[in-house]
C-alpha cells in the first residue's frame, strides 16, 4: 500500500543512521509520506485522539501510582491525600478518571464508524480484530482501575464481576478464587488488580502498534468504501486519490483533537465527578451492600445484556446465560468480518442496512440506559389486582392437619380442605414442616372485595388497608392475587438485547445477500469532484 519508501536522508548523520537503524525512515514512511485518502471525514479523526487518550492515561497513571497505596485500609485515604496535599494531584486524578470516560467515548465513536463504513471487511479483518482485542483490554483495564480507589462501588463492582465468572461451569469457581486471590474481595485482590491495572495499558500500547501496523499495510478505508487507485492508474492531469499524511491528515486530526480536548477539559475542570457514582466516595464496606450496584457508564450496555437474561435456557441457568450473553455481545464483534456478507463496504450505498444500523445505534443507547436503571422498574403503567374473600358471621371450627412427611404436605392440606365440603370458606395455616391448622367457617355470608395498585408494593399496601377496614368482622381472608404482564426495564433490555444479536447474526448475513445496493462510484474521486463542482 505504502509503496517503496520515498525517504531520503539529507545529512551525514541521518545517512549514517539510516544504514544502521532506519528509524527515521520508519517514522517518515508511517506518519509523513503515508498516503491517506483525500475524502476522509471527521469520523476518521478519532484514531489519533485514541492514541492521545492512551498516552494521557499512561502518563497520569504513572504519576498516580507514585502516590497510591494498594491496601484495603489505606487506598481510599491515599487517593484523598493525593487530591488534597499533592501539588496539582487533584488535576492529575481528575484527568485520569475523566480520561477513562473520554477514552471510551472516543473508542465507541471509532467502533461505530468502523461498523458504518465497513472498515472490518477485506483486507482489514485483522485490523478490526486487533481493534476488538484493544477494546477488550480497555474494558478490563477500566474495570480494574475503577476498583482501585476502594470505594463502595469499587468493592461491590469487583464482587459482582468476579462472582459472574464464578457462574461458568466447572472452572468458574477456580477462576473466581484465582482472580480475587481468596474467597472474597480482599487485600490480595487489590494487590493483583493494581498490578494488572499497571500492566494492561502497556499491553494495549503493544496491540495498538500492531493495529497501526496492520492499518498501514492495508491502508485507510474511506467513506465511499472504494479502494484508492495507485498513482500509476491515475490519468495525467488528475489529482491522485491520496494526499500525504503530513500535513493534511495531521492538521485535521489536530484540529479535531483540540475540539475533543475542549470537551475533556470541561469535564475535568467543571464537573469532574459527573461521570462517576456518589457511592464511590464512601469507603468500601464489605458488610454493607449499596442500594444499587452499577458499573461505569461505558459498561452499562453490557450490564443490561447481562441482566436481560433473567430466565433459564434448558440446562443453562439465568446467571450463566447472562454471563454468556454478555461475553457473546463482545465476542460477536470478533467474527463480524465473516458475518457481513455484503461486498459493499460503506453503508452509504446500502440503503436498507443503513436504516438497521441507525436502529442498532439507538438500541445500544437504550441498553446503556437500561443498565443504569433498576431492572424491576415498570415502564408501562400496569394494574395489579387482588381479590379478598371473607365470611361475615358463621362459626369457625379448627382442627389440626398432619402429613406423614414434608413431601406429602400439599396433598394432606388439600385433603383436609376437601373434607370440609359444607364450609363457606376454609384455610390451612402451616405451623411446621408436617403440621398445620385447618380453619373452616360454616354459615355466614361470603363477601369479596377487589383492590388494585400500580406496583406489587402498592397492591400489598392496598390489601393490608382493606383487611384493616374489614377488621374483626372477618376471622380470616383468602386473597387471590392477579399479576398482570408488566413491561419493565428488563423487558426493554430483552428486546434491545435481541436486536443487538439479531443485527449481527441475522440482518448482516442476510442483507448482504438480499439487499440491492445503491450505485457505488468507480473511484473516490467521483464524489469528490462532484462535491467540489457543487461547491464551486
User: Does residue 248 interact with another protein by CB under 8 A?
Assistant: yes
Work out how close the CB of 201 gets to another protein at its nearest, in angstroms, rounded to a whole number: 24
Please, which of residues 410-469 interact with another protein by CB under 8 A?
Answer: none
User: Does residue 109 interact with another protein by CB under 8 A?
Assistant: yes
Q: What does each C-alpha distance from 170 to 167, 174, 176 come to in angstroms? A: 9, 8, 11
CA of residue 302 relative to chain centroid, distance? 3
Of 289 and 312, nearer to another protein (C-beta) is 289
User: Does residue 80 interact with another protein by CB under 8 A?
Assistant: yes
Give CA angle at 403 (399, 408), nearest 5°.
135
Q: What does each C-alpha distance from 186 to 284, 287, 295 come to in angstroms? A: 10, 13, 19
Of 9, 32, 51, 112, which lies in the binding site for another protein, with binding defined by CB under 8 A?
112
Work out how close the CB of 515 gets to another protein at its nearest, in angstroms, rounded to a whole number: 18
Phi-psi region of 289 (alpha: psi -120 to 50; beta: other; left: phi over 0): beta
Max CA-CA distance within the chain? 115
Of 360 and 390, nearer to another protein (C-beta) is 360
Of 209 and 365, nearer to another protein (C-beta) is 365
Stretch touching another protein by CB under 8 A, among 12-20, 158-166, 167-175, 262-270: 262-270
Cβ neighbours around 126 below 10 Å, total: 16
CA pseudo-torsion sign 524, 526, 527, 533:
positive
User: Does residue 235 interact with another protein by CB under 8 A?
Assistant: no
Work out how close the CB of 200 gets to another protein at its nearest, in angstroms, rounded to a whole number: 24
Q: What share of the chain is helix, strand, coil (3-state, %, to 5)?
A: 60, 10, 30
Instruction: Report whether 307 contacts 322 (CB < 8 A).
Output: yes
User: Does residue 71 interact with another protein by CB under 8 A?
Assistant: no
List, in order, residues 6 or more apart from 266 with CB less than 8 Å away: none
Of 361, 445, 469, 510, which lies in the binding site for another protein, with binding defined by CB under 8 A?
361
Work out how close the CB of 465 gets to another protein at its nearest, in angstroms, rounded to a whole number: 19
Of 95 and 403, nearer to another protein (C-beta) is 95
Residues that bind another protein (rule: CB under 8 A) add up to a total of: 65
User: Does residue 41 interact with another protein by CB under 8 A?
Assistant: yes
User: Does residue 325 interact with another protein by CB under 8 A?
Assistant: no
Q: How far apart are CA 488 and CA 485, in angstroms?
A: 9
Q: Which of 92, 345, 306, 376 is nearest to 223 (CA)?
A: 345
Stretch touching another protein by CB under 8 A, among 192-200, 358-366, 405-413, 511-519: 358-366
Of 272 and 475, nearer to another protein (C-beta) is 272
Q: Which of 323, 302, 319, 299 is nearest to 311 (CA)?
A: 319
Q: Which residues bind another protein (CB under 8 A)?
A: 38-43, 77, 80-81, 83-84, 90-91, 94, 105, 108-109, 112, 116, 239, 243, 247-248, 251-252, 254-255, 258-259, 261-262, 265-266, 268-270, 272-275, 277-279, 281-283, 291-292, 294, 297, 300, 358, 361-362, 365, 368-369, 371-374, 528-529, 531-532
Amino acid at each position: 500500500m505504502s509503496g517503496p519508501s520515498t525517504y531520503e536522508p539529507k545529512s551525514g548523520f541521518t545517512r549514517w543512521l539510516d544504514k544502521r537503524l532506519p528509524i527515521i525512515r520508519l517514522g517518515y514512511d508511517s506518519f509523513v509520506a503515508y498516503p491517506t485518502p483525500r475524502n476522509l471525514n471527521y469520523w476518521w479523526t478519532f484514531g489519533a485522539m485514541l492514541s492521545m487518550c492512551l498516552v494521557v492515561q499512561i502518563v497520569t497513571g504513572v504519576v498516580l501510582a507514585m502516590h497510591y497505596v494498594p491496601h484495603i485500609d489505606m487506598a481510599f485515604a491515599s487517593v484523598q491525600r493525593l487530591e488534597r496535599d499533592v501539588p496539582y494531584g487533584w488535576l492529575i486524578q481528575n484527568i485520569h478518571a475523566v480520561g477513562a470516560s473520554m477514552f471510551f467515548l472516543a473508542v465507541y465513536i471509532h467502533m461505530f464508524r468502523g461498523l458504518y463504513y465497513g472498515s472490518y471487511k477485506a483486507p482489514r479483518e485483522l485490523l478490526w480484530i486487533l481493534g476488538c482485542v484493544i477494546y477488550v483490554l480497555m474494558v478490563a483495564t477500566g474495570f480494574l482501575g475503577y476498583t482501585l480507589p476502594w470505594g463502595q462501588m469499587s468493592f461491590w463492582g469487583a464482587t459482582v464481576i468476579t462472582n459472574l465468572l464464578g457462574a461458568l461451569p466447572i472452572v468458574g469457581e477456580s477462576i473466581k478464587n484465582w482472580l480475587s486471590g481468596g474467597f472474597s474481595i480482599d487485600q490480595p485482590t487489590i494487590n493483583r488488580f493494581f498490578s494488572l491495572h499497571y500492566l494492561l495499558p502497556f499491553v494495549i500500547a503493544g496491540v495498538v502498534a500492531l493495529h497501526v501496523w496492520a492499518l498501514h499495510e492495508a491502508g485507510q478505508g474511506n467513506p465511499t468504501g472504494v479502494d484508492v487507485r495507485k498513482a500509476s492508474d491515475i490519468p495525467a492531469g488528475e489529482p491522485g486519490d491520496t494526499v500525504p499524511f503530513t500535513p493534511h491528515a495531521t492538521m485535521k486530526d489536530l484540529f479535531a483533537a483540540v475540539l475533543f480536548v475542549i470537551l475533556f477539559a470541561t469535564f475535568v475542570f467543571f464537573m469532574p465527578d459527573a461521570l462517576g457514582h456518589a457511592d464511590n466516595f464512601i469507603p468500601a464496606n464489605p458488610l454493607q451492600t449499596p442500594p444499587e450496584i452499577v458499573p461505569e457508564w461505558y459498561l452499562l450496555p453490557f450490564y443490561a445484556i447481562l441482566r436481560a437474561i433473567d430466565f433459564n435456557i434448558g440446562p443453562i441457568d439465568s446467571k450463566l446465560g447472562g454471563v454468556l450473553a454478555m461475553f457473546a455481545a463482545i465476542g460477536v464483534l470478533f467474527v463480524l468480518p465473516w458475518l457481513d456478507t455484503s461486498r459493499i463496504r460503506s453503508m452509504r450505498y446500502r440503503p436498507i442496512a443503513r436504516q438497521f444500523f441507525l436502529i442498532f445505534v439507538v438500541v445500544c443507547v437504550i441498553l446503556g440506559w437500561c443498565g443504569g436503571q433498576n431492572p424491576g422498574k415498570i415502564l408501562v403503567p400496569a394494574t395489579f389486582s387482588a381479590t379478598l374473600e371473607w365470611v361475615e358471621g358463621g362459626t369457625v371450627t379448627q382442627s389440626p392437619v398432619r402429613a406423614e412427611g414434608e413431601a406429602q404436605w400439599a396433598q394432606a392440606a388439600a385433603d383436609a380442605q376437601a373434607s370440609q365440603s359444607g364450609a363457606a370458606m376454609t384455610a390451612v395455616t402451616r405451623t411446621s414442616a408436617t403440621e398445620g391448622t385447618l380453619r373452616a367457617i360454616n354459615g355466614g355470608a361470603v363477601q369479596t372485595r377487589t383492590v388494585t395498585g400500580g406496583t406489587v408494593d402498592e397492591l400489598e399496601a392496598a390489601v393490608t388497608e382493606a383487611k384493616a377496614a374489614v377488621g374483626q368482622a372477618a376471622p380470616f381472608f383468602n386473597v387471590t392475587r392477579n399479576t398482570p404482564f408488566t413491561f419493565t426495564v428488563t423487558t426493554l433490555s430483552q428486546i434491545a438485547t435481541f436486536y443487538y444479536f439479531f443485527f449481527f447474526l441475522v440482518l448482516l448475513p442476510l442483507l448482504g445477500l438480499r439487499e440491492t445496493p445503491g450505485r457505488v462510484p468507480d473511484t473516490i474521486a467521483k464524489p469528490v469532484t462532484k462535491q467540489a463542482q457543487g461547491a464551486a
